[in-house]
Amino acid sequence: MADELRQALTLHQAGQRGQAALLYDHILKHKADHAEALHLRGVLHHQMGEHAQAADKINRAVALRPSVAIYHANLAEAYRALGQLERAAGAARTAVRLDPDYAEAHNNLGLALQGLGRHKEAAEHFRKALQLLPDFVGVHNNLGISLRELHDGDGALQHFRRAVELQPDFTGAHTNLGLLLLDLNKPDEALPHCREAVRLQPQVAALHHNLATALRGAKDFVAARAAYLEAVRLDPNLVVAHAHLGMLLQQEGQHSEALPWLKQAVELEPTSISAWTALAEAYLELEDFAVAIPCWERVLELDANRADAHRSLGWALQEEGRLDEAMVRYRLAQLLEPQVPVSYLNQGGLHEERGELVEAETAFREALRVQPTFAPAHARLATLLRGKLPYEDQAALEARLADDGLAKGPRARLLFGYAHVQDAKGDYVGAASSLAEANALSAEVNADSRAYAPADHEKFVQRMCDSFDAALFARLSSGGLPTGRPVFVLGLPRSGTTLIEQILASHAQVYGAGELRYARQSFERLPALLGRAGPPIACLSDLDAATLRQMAEQHDERLRQLNSDSPRIVDKMPDNYLYLGLLAAMFPQAVFIHCRRDLRDVAVSCWMTDFRSIRWANHLENIAHRFTQYHRVMAHWRQVLPVRLHEVAYEETVTDLEGVARRLVAACGLDWDPACLEFHRTLRPIRTASVVQVRQPVYQRSVARWKNYQPYLADLFARLPEEADPPLVVGRHE
């Protein structure tokens, strides 16, 4: 039987497991209590993935010969494979007690403790194993894992590197070294190790995923995308690859393209917080807040204590006009993280929107109480108070600006706020200097794929002009929804759209809905509605009356969900001027109000505004380009629109408020309401950079404001298009 056992062990060591198993089983058939045969057959079971049978066989061997350390050490590994970590640790401790110089037993005990999250104890046993066997490759790798968990990055690097030196074809060591270097923000150093791991085991999807992540960190997005796709091809159920591919596309600014991958990630793993978070953030970037809301709610179902998710949900709710719910989320975030200033900042912004300016100031000051150096709160306070900013607050703001270590983004925020203070105090030289630096920094921070692309915008405007002609309007004439309820106030940002909305919303029969994204969203849904691929602009030739009516009904239903009572509802999204043709076809009986203002004043106001999502305002040449394209498309609409377009000049509004207001009310088909002249007393949410101004009576100091900045913006003013005053009403008059 001893010869038979030696023969079985020889076959076992040669990898001929089937033949070895036959011999072990033959021995045990004749001698069921053969301890070594039981032990070795158990080891073979373990190597073949049959861990329960392994534990059973080795346990029987232990019962027969309880003083043999190797039996306990291998039993520990069988238990560890079964997930029975406490039992594994107990067996390994027995092995170490029986043979304190048994390096493998110390390693096995370390692995069991590592699995239990007891990394400090695990590291002690890995170190003991290395004292006994300094070149024990696997232990160097295992110790590196525990040191990484103990936040000893340098120690972990040392042991991962040693494992790779000792065994250059050790895939696990290359993988762990690469991942740690990624954690340490060293993607260029991580790349060779991630590549080598893929070379060693090219069929392992997770390794392609790791390589993709390293490539992404090294800014090689094309190669990263290919590696993520290969990971998904090898393992279509690898959730993290779907999620990270979606995040990569988000990073490239391709938020729409990211959505299918992120949706697939949450379908594969509905409890993945990171995947739901990435999906919610993609919808936020697309400004599809209504869809982002349930994603954030799902994140909070999975973990109700995530303050950042409460804040993001609050932001989405605020954008959807659900202000009370948004405030609840901001306050919950504050309770969870009372020393984080962002929650106070968000509450201040919401108070501002409601017209609660005293409460807004209090919230901004609370943010500064929590973190006195918090740049966004200094900036918001300065923008809110402007010329009334107390000396000590201005001094604190200036002190932050003097900090050479201040990051570019926060510095830009501070400079925008400081410029408003300087402007209000008549320091136009200082304001111009602050604004030049603020816009340059913002442009640099946002210098990614989301940056304004003049050629693309010009092409878009040209295709809109080419598509919306008399023939298209005639073809779609039967599809429009016959309702006069919508009122669209449009024009360039900072052209007076907020003022006009506030005047109208002060009327008892008008609801001011703010800046709605419905028009753009309707346009972007064209491919899906028509069952076509490609960009929405390419679908206009296939748009029929039935689809147009469907779009109009969906749009109208969303308006009803906002407000079902008022006879008129105002959408004051400035950029609706780009979609004016589509809106006119959808709502031929709607009211369309175009706000105009001296383009030099609009340019100065845009240049002074710290916009969240308008990228073109940071470059003077882009401002000129955008205004030129605006002038071009508006000239086209005036020629082809089959509806009335009411033109309102900002300068006339501030000099003849009552005359303009009466004409606006009449255009909406309503009787006069004197409350329209007291618009600054109307308490309603306002989402705009003009939030402070429209809480005041009309004033003329914003007219010809451009003259204050003529010395600094003369080249920009010279490039702006010249616009003759159009008639007050243009278009058809049926």
Give which of 170, 167, 130 is closest to 146, Cα–Cα: 130
DSSP assignment letter at 696: S
Cα 630 from Cα 576, distance rounded (Å): 11
H or E segment and range at residue 593: strand 591-596
Cα 306 from Cα 509, distance rounded (Å): 42
pLDDT band at 701 (very low <50, low <70, confident <90, very high): low
Q: Give the pLDDT score at 694.
A: 45
Alpha carbon of residue 312 to chain centroid: 10
Instruction: Using the predicted structure, report yes or no on whether residue 314 has a pLDDT greater than 70.
Output: yes
H or E segment and range at residue 578: none
Cα-flanking dihedrals φ and ψ of residue 499, to 5°?
-60, -45
pLDDT band at 612 (very low <50, low <70, confident <90, very high): confident
Instruction: Using the predicted structure, report yes or no on whether residue 692 has a pLDDT greater than 80.
Output: no
Cα 468 from Cα 585, distance rounded (Å): 10
Question: In this structure, which amino acid lies at residue 728?
Answer: L
Given a contact cutoff of 8 angstroms between Cβ atoms, the answer to whether 586 and 482 are in contact is no
Cα 259 from Cα 267, distance rounded (Å): 12
What's the pLDDT tens digit per position in 240-262?
999 999 989 887 777 778 899 99
Instruction: Using the predicted structure, report yes or no on whether residue 570 has a pLDDT greater than 60.
Output: yes
Give which of 185, 250, 262 is closest to 224, Cα–Cα: 250
Cα 51 from Cα 55, distance rounded (Å): 6
Look at the block and give the residue holding tokens 């120690």: 155
Strands 645-649 and 510-512: unpaired
> Per the structure block, which two tokens stand in for 61?
């061997």
Give 647's strand partners: 594
Look at the block and give the residue holding tokens 């605006």: 630
> What 3-state DSSP class applies to 204?
coil
> Per the structure block, which two tokens stand in for 531?
């069952």
Cα-flanking dihedrals φ and ψ of residue 149, to 5°?
-70, -25
Instruction: Using the predicted structure, report yes or no on whether residue 400 has a pLDDT greater than 50.
Output: yes
Cα 22 from Cα 457, distance rounded (Å): 75
Of 46-50, 76-80, 701-705, the one with minimum mean pLDDT is: 701-705
H or E segment and range at residue 730: strand 729-730
Question: In this structure, which amino acid lies at residue 358?
Answer: V
Strands 568-571 and 510-512: parallel
For the sheet with 645-649, list strands across it. Answer: 510-512, 568-571, 486-491, 591-596, 645-649, 729-730
Instruction: Using the predicted structure, report yes or no on whether residue 517 has a pLDDT greater than 50.
Output: yes
Of 17-31, 310-324, 463-477, 696-710, the one with minimum mean pLDDT is: 696-710
Q: Give the pLDDT score at 533.
A: 80
pLDDT band at 682 (very low <50, low <70, confident <90, very high): low
pLDDT band at 613 (very low <50, low <70, confident <90, very high): confident
H or E segment and range at residue 554: helix 545-562
Cα 245 from Cα 679, distance rounded (Å): 49
> Per the structure block, which two tokens stand in for 616?
């073109």
> Per the structure block, which two tokens stand in for 333?
């975030």
What's the pLDDT tens digit per position in 434-472?
999 999 999 988 876 567 889 999 999 999 999 999 999
pLDDT band at 200 (very low <50, low <70, confident <90, very high): very high
Full DSSP string of 677-688:
GGGGG------S
Cα 263 from Cα 257, distance rounded (Å): 11
> What 3-state DSSP class applies to 596?
strand
Q: Which residue has the higher pLDDT, 689 or 409?
A: 409
Calculate mean pLDDT across residues 489-508: 93
Calculate mean pLDDT across residues 711-725: 89
> Per the structure block, which two tokens stand in for 178?
């690469």
pLDDT band at 288 (very low <50, low <70, confident <90, very high): confident
Buried b (16+ CB within 10 A) or exposed e, 456-485: ebeebbeebbebbeeebbeebeebbbeeeb
Question: If you average pLDDT over every residue of the chain, what do you get?
Answer: 92
Domains parsed from the chain with CATH numbers: 373-445 (no CATH), 454-730 (3.40.50.300)
Given phi > 0 = left and psi -120 to 50 = alpha, else beta, which region is 321? left
List Cβ neighbours of 261 (8 Å cut-off, separation of 6 or more).
242, 243, 245, 246, 249
Cα 316 from Cα 236, distance rounded (Å): 32
> Per the structure block, which two tokens stand in for 262?
């992120």
Given a contact cutoff of 8 angstroms between Cβ atoms, the answer to whether 647 and 728 are in contact is yes
Given a contact cutoff of 8 angstroms between Cβ atoms, the answer to whether 248 and 224 are in contact is yes
Cα 398 from Cα 393, distance rounded (Å): 9
List Cβ neighbours of 695 (8 Å cut-off, separation of 6 or more).
355, 357, 680
Given a contact cutoff of 8 angstroms between Cβ atoms, the answer to whether 526 and 582 are in contact is no
What's the pLDDT tens digit per position in 152-190?
999 999 999 999 999 999 999 999 999 999 999 899 999
Given a contact cutoff of 8 angstroms between Cβ atoms, the answer to whether 654 and 501 are in contact is no
> What 3-state DSSP class applies to 645?
strand
> Per the structure block, which two tokens stand in for 674?
């004197």
Look at the block and give the residue holding tokens 């390994």: 92
Instruction: Using the predicted structure, report yes or no on whether residue 562 has a pLDDT greater than 90.
Output: no
Of 162-176, 576-590, 670-684, the one with minimum mean pLDDT is: 670-684
* Residue 71 CB neighbour total at 10 angstroms: 28
Give which of 555, 554, 562 is closest to 513, Cα–Cα: 562
Give which of 76, 157, 82 is closest to 113, Cα–Cα: 76
The 3-state secondary structure of 167-200 reads: CCCCHHHHHHHHHHHHHCCCHHHHHHHHHHHHHH
pLDDT band at 679 (very low <50, low <70, confident <90, very high): confident
> What 3-state DSSP class applies to 594?
strand
Calculate mean pLDDT across residues 18-26: 92
Instruction: Using the predicted structure, report yes or no on whether residue 688 has a pLDDT greater than 80.
Output: no
Look at the block and give the residue holding tokens 């304004």: 452
Cα 314 from Cα 333, distance rounded (Å): 9
Give which of 698, 25, 18 is closest to 4, Cα–Cα: 25
What's the pLDDT tens digit per position in 201-234?
999 999 999 999 999 999 899 999 999 999 999 9
H or E segment and range at residue 649: strand 645-649
DSSP assignment letter at 694: G
What's the pLDDT tens digit per position in 266-284?
999 999 998 999 899 988 8
Given a contact cutoff of 8 angstroms between Cβ atoms, the answer to whether 221 and 251 are in contact is yes
- C-alpha torsion angle, residues 112, 116, 119, 124 (rounded to 10): -40
What's the pLDDT tens digit per position in 27-43?
999 999 999 999 999 99
Cα 554 from Cα 459, distance rounded (Å): 28
> What 3-state DSSP class applies to 427?
coil
| Alpha-helical regions (H) of 322-407 | 323-336, 342-354, 357-370, 375-385, 391-401
Full DSSP string of 484-528:
--EEEEEESTTSSHHHHHHHHHTSTTEEE--S--HHHHHHHTHHH
